[in-house]
Amino acid sequence: MEIEFCGGKGRAMAGKREQPNKRPWWLWGLLAVLVAAGCLLFMCGGFPTGNEPAEDLPVVEETPLVEETPAVEEVPVEEPVEMPEPEEKAEVPEDGVTEETLPPEEEEPKPELPPKDLPLDPEKPMIALTFDDGPGEHTARLLDAFDTYGGKATFFVVGRNINAYKDVLKRAAEEGHEIGSHSWNHPQLTKLGQDSIKEQITRTRDKIQEAAGVEVNLLRPPYGAQNKTVRAIAGEMGIVLINWNVDPKDWQLRNADKVYDAVMNTVKDGDIILCHDIHSTTVDAMERLIPELRMQGYQLVTVTELLTAKGGEMVPGTQYRYRVDPET
Ligand code: NI
């Protein structure tokens, strides 16, 4: 068919159909050679058409394209995968730590330690931790514990101990703890004459004033011993007597675990707890008790805060052993 267009135009113009069959032999030979050459080139891959590079490119370039495309996609895919990882890490560690590390020992202390500067809430439980016989070599560590975990205490100090620990006593006052008198040299006041009782009170009061710069209106009589005479003298001097209703016997036990248990097993709202900061075992116990009591909801307050939080009065010459609520 194409032959008519190729070389036989001149003869086709002659008008006879049979003429194509009589085309010259060289025309058929040329055609065969061209076809053969074309097939050869095609099969050898050297045919300079647009198909070859297209075929080669798909093989060589499509592969890289296919690889690059996923490669490019994998990067962004990996990035978003990495993004959630840190988030998971932020969450998993907390859970992981809680589940893997804390559970065995500290599953119970779920409540968190309240902020240290919470204002006193009269409607919530509160107790007064009191420390006698100091200041001493362990008092500073006890102050550290309160500073770390929060809460305030009341220190009933022995006058003759103050000189050696003036700075500690001053620090206690500056950090919001209450300072009371525990006499000058720890005698049983009920066995003393009136003048001696007065001297025990005034001398210690003045020493505290000198060292810590605070006025003293609380007295814890040594051994808790008080009678009408002691109360009367205290009343004349504007002094309130403070004893206790919880005695973990830390001075006798000298064992932090037992002191801890003794307090935790008996403590309740409104209590005044007797302890002694001259014993390292007591301070050891406090380093656990202070945070634990606060986590359980107890406000660790001074004696004056405890007794007056619900509107109670502190009458000089009167003994208080725990908070007496007005309505009680
Ligand atoms: Ni004492």
Give the Å distance between the CA of 176 and the centre of ligand 1: 22
How many angstroms separate the Cα of 178 from the Cα of each of 21, 168, 182, 193?
A: 132, 13, 13, 28
Question: If you search the block for the tokens 């009065």, which residue do you land on?
Answer: 313
What is the predicted pLDDT for the residue at 44?
46
Cα–ligand 1 centroid distance for 146 (angstroms): 21
> Which residue stretches of 107-160 are H helix?
139-149
What secondary structure does DSSP assign to 171-230, as a single string? Answer: HHHHTT-EEEE--SS---GGGS-HHHHHHHHHHHHHHHHHHH-----EE--GGG---HHH
- Residue 106: pLDDT band by 50, 70, 90 thresholds? low
Average pLDDT over residues 278-286: 98
Bridge partners of 119, per DSSP, are none
Q: What is the pLDDT of residue 162?
A: 98
Note the pLDDT tens digit of each residue in 201-241. Answer: 999 999 999 999 999 999 999 999 999 999 999 999 999 99
Sign of CA dihedral 207, 282, 301, 173: positive
Digit-coded pLDDT (tens) for 121-155? 999 999 999 999 999 999 999 999 999 999 999 99
Query: In this model, does residue 102 exceed pLDDT 70?
Result: no
- The separation between the first and the last C-alpha atoms of the chain, rounded to the nearest angstrom, is 125
> Helix, strand, or coil here: 30?
helix
Average pLDDT over all residues of the chain: 80
- Whether the full predicted model's pTM is greater than 0.75, yes or no, is no
Using the mean position of ligand 1's atoms as its centre, give its distance from the Cα of residue 186 in Å: 6
221 CA distance to ligand 1 middle (Å): 8
Task: Give the distance (Å) from ligand 1 centre to CA of residue 295.
Answer: 29
Measure 317 CA to ligand 1 centroid, in angstroms. Answer: 19
Report CA dihedral (241, 244, 247, 249) to the nearest 10 degrees: -10
Residue with tokens 């206790």: 244
Lowest-confidence pick of 81-90, 114-123, 126-135: 81-90
User: How many angstroms separate the alpha carbon of residue 283 from the centre of ligand 1?
Assistant: 16
- 222 CA from centroid of ligand 1 (Å): 5
Structural tokens at position 209: 């004033």
Q: Note the pLDDT of residue 105.
A: 63
> Which one is catalytic: 132, 133, 250, 271?
132
Torsion angle of C-alpha atoms 155, 159, 164, 168, degrees rounded to 10: 20
Residue 298 structure tokens = 């107890």
In this predicted structure, what is the pLDDT of residue 122?
Answer: 96
C-alpha 215 – ligand 1 centre gap (Å): 20
Residue 15 tokens read as 């008008």
**43-52, 160-169, 198-207, 239-248: least confident range:** 43-52
pLDDT at position 41 is 52
For residue 310, name the pLDDT band (cuts at 50, 70, 90): very high
What is the number of other CB atoms lying within 10 angstroms of the CB of residue 131?
31
pLDDT at 131 (0 to 100):
98
Residue 119: pLDDT over 60: yes
CB 303 within 8 A of CB 152: no
Percent of the chain residues topping a pLDDT of 90: 64
Determine whether 276 is an active site residue: yes
| Span 163-197, pLDDT tens digits | 999 999 999 999 999 999 999 999 999 999 999 99
Confidence of residue 25 (pLDDT cuts 50, 70, 90): low
Cβ 140 vs Cβ 166: under 8 Å: no
Rounded-to-integer distance, Cα 12 and Cα 6, Å: 11
Report which residue type is found at 295. M
Whole-number Å distance, alpha carbon 223 to ligand 1 midpoint, is 6
Report angle CA 25, 30, 33 to the nearest 5 degrees: 125
Please identify which of the residues 138, 182, 276, 279 carries the catalytic annotation.
Answer: 276
pLDDT of residue 5 exceeding 60: no
Indicate the DSSP class of residue 102: S
**139 residue type, one letter:** T
Q: Which of 259, 262, 248, 256 is nearest to 280 (CA)?
A: 256
